[in-house]
Amino acid sequence: MVASREGTRRRSGAIALICAAGLLAACSEVPTSGPVVAGNPVRAQDPLPYVAFGAAEPRAGADPAAIVDGFIDAMSAYQPGYEIAKLFLTPEAQATWNPSAGIMVHRGARPSIEVFDETLAQLTMTVIGEVREDGSFIAVNPDGPNKIDLPMEQVDGEWRIAEPPQGTIISEDNFAREYESHNLCFYNLDGEMFVYDPVYVPKSGQTATLLTQMLLAGPSEWLDPAVRTAFPEATTLSVASVPIDSGTATVDLSDAAAENTDAAQRSRMAVQLGCTLSGLPEVSRVAMNTDGIALLGQDESTIDAVVLERHDPNLLGAGGALYAIREGSLVRGDGDAPQPVQGALGVAEDLTEVAVDAGGGRAVVVAGFGTELQTAAVDSDSRRTILEGAGFTSPSWARNNVIWAVGQADSGGRLVAMTPEGAEIEVRAADLDQRDVQRVDVSPDGTRMALVVDGIAYLALVVVDGEARDHVSVERLRRIGPDSDALDVAWSGSERVALLVGDEEADPEVLVVDTFGAVQASRGTVVGAVFVAAGADQRLVVATEDGMLVEHESRTRWIELGEGGAPAYP
């Protein structure tokens, strides 16, 4: 059975172990070799090619502006310990400055520097994101320049920074050059599906070692309540590194990994490791040991470093047909113009929106021109009303068989949830009280929700609570995308969200946003677009206010599919 625990309890211990969760920014060099284990010969992992950054030390007699400029230069590339950067600080500041406290990423080549009366320097820059200690990235929508005061003092006649901000400061171009994103793999609360937790690590680090340490330390703070791990709480690496030999990464774990764990749990631990290391081209298999003994058994001591299909949320509904509403009935298309489905939904006249389960066989529709939620097998001759009310919109069929929608209340749109049989599920969402929920879509792994609330796009966690699973929490809202008014959201696989934005002065635009909230790409504008549909390995489709389905073909080019509205993929 999978062991559940709170990642935040483990995280503090992991930070002490690896010096800074996710980034190792204040560590000495991570050792690149460990003891040779009998029966499992390994060698040290070959480090990635790395050109040392030649940061210059402070010049004698440099004025405060030059000292601050040199400090910024010394942080512009990842350095273990940031020893050169510390030379620009007073001795007291060197003792208290923690470069591993996070990374502030700013727009442009470098901040502007202004000095006031030599004793105070000020940085001005536009911050676009922050990397936290756990390696997670938070995109920031700048509402103006950020200013940071740097008090200056003289030490033996030389100017030094007395109070630097905790963490490091780096431009977006240098950040892209020095760091890369990888996924840590955790299980959803059912223990059935992977949930990917993206983190940033330095490109010059020992990536397999860093990712393994971060996986054992637990999920990012934001994601923690919605996921679980197979590893027992006290599990750590028992050696300093994860060596790789002929494509096999050997992970030596502490005794906690073997204590009170059966073969099934160990297998889930190994699968979690294999998923996490699957993104490294140098790793094809994973061995998992304790005290030199293979935890998976001598007959099959390694597993493939892959994302197993049965746990991959991106395969849910992948390649499924497009569904839409035309003249009140349900239509379906698979690479061609959608046609009415067989059965009751295909001859209906009162449907306005649809969502389809991952298998593509069942649908929930907004019927009665917005007054009912109904379920039916897609090609069935009957349909069943599961909820009556007013103004239902935006249905979503989650992978755990919870049906979501937006219903109208006195304060605006509110979330409703129920089973396919019509049993209502209590929704606890304090962050949404007295706010107008307009659109909702649940991620393929079932742990996160994309929403439009008061015209703003958000991500939130979905946590099913209670032994009877009779209530669900929607919590930890996190804003995504630009400041433009959000019109609709749809998950494009488990790691991206398609976001339709627009305002009165511009045509609606389709953006692809990552789970950090940063815009990854624009797919162009579509005149009159009001709905967007997306899926893993699916082309984006929008519906316009005049009842036309339009499909994304390439870059910013869109082509018409035919008449229809409210498109949806399984």
For residue 242, what pLDDT is reported?
95
Phi/psi zone of residue 202: left (φ > 0), alpha (ψ -120 to 50 degrees), beta? beta
For residue 522, what pLDDT is reported?
95
- What crossing angle do the helices spanning 207-217 and 7-18 adopt, rounded to 10°? 150
C-beta separation of 293 from 266 below 8 A = no
Report pLDDT digits (tens) over 408-423.
Answer: 877 789 999 999 999 9
Over 70: is that where the pLDDT of 9 sits?
no
* C-alpha–C-alpha distance, residues 492 and 282, integer Å: 28
Assign 370 to helix, strand or coil: helix
Angstrom distances, CA of residue 341 to CA of 101, 122, 373: 56, 65, 19
Query: Where is average pLDDT lowest: 26-30, 326-330, 444-448?
Result: 26-30
For residue 50, what pLDDT is reported?
37
Over 90: is that where the pLDDT of 127 sits?
yes
Percent of the chain with pLDDT over 90: 73
Report pLDDT digits (tens) over 461-473.
Answer: 999 875 656 789 9
Residues present in the chain in total: 570
Over 80: is that where the pLDDT of 214 sits?
yes
Over 60: is that where the pLDDT of 558 sits?
yes
Report pLDDT digits (tens) over 323-336.
Answer: 999 999 999 998 77
What is the mean predicted confidence (pLDDT) over 439-460?
A: 96
Over 90: is that where the pLDDT of 13 sits?
no
- What crossing angle do the helices spanning 263-277 and 207-217 adopt, rounded to 10°? 130
For residue 7, what pLDDT is reported?
37
Report pLDDT digits (tens) over 331-373.
Answer: 999 877 889 999 999 999 999 999 999 888 999 999 999 999 9
Angstrom distances, CA of residue 345 to CA of 30, 315, 342, 362: 61, 26, 7, 11
For residue 316, what pLDDT is reported?
67
Assign 280 to helix, strand or coil: coil
Percent of the chain with pLDDT over 70: 89
* C-alpha–C-alpha distance, residues 148 and 409, integer Å: 45
What average pLDDT does the structure give for the chain?
Answer: 87
Over 50: is that where the pLDDT of 14 sits?
no
Query: Where is average pLDDT lowest: 35-44, 85-94, 125-134?
Result: 35-44
Residues 278-309: b if buried by 16+ CB within 10 A, e if exposed: bbbeebbbbbbbbeeebbbeeeebbbebebee
Nearest to 375 by CA among 444, 443, 423: 423
pTM: 0.86
Over 70: is that where the pLDDT of 298 sits?
no
Query: Where is average pLDDT lowest: 33-37, 44-48, 63-67, 97-101?
Result: 33-37
* C-alpha–C-alpha distance, residues 92 and 161, integer Å: 10
The full set of domain ranges for the chain reads 32-48+183-313, 314-568
What is the mean predicted confidence (pLDDT) over 169-178?
A: 95
What is the mean predicted confidence (pLDDT) over 301-320?
A: 82
Q: Which residues, including other chains, have CB under 8 Å from residue 567's CB and lie 6 or more apart?
A: 322, 323, 324, 531, 532, 533, 541, 542, 543, 549
Q: Which residues, including other chains, have CB under 8 Å from residue 166's CB and lie 6 or more apart?
A: 97, 98, 101, 102
The backbone torsions φ and ψ at residue 210, rounded to the nearest 5 degrees and listed phi first, read -60, -45
* C-alpha–C-alpha distance, residues 201 and 203, integer Å: 6
For residue 46, what pLDDT is reported?
37
C-beta separation of 200 from 137 below 8 A = yes
What is the mean predicted confidence (pLDDT) over 222-237?
A: 95
Over 70: is that where the pLDDT of 508 sits?
yes
C-beta separation of 305 from 248 below 8 A = no
Report pLDDT digits (tens) over 242-274.
Answer: 999 999 999 999 999 999 899 999 999 999 999
For residue 31, what pLDDT is reported?
30
Q: Predicted confidence band at 562 (pLDDT cuts at 50, 70, 90)? A: very high
What is the mean predicted confidence (pLDDT) over 392-404?
A: 94
Over 70: is that where the pLDDT of 227 sits?
yes
For residue 177, what pLDDT is reported?
93
Domain 314-568 sits in CATH 2.120.10.30:
yes
For residue 43, what pLDDT is reported?
26
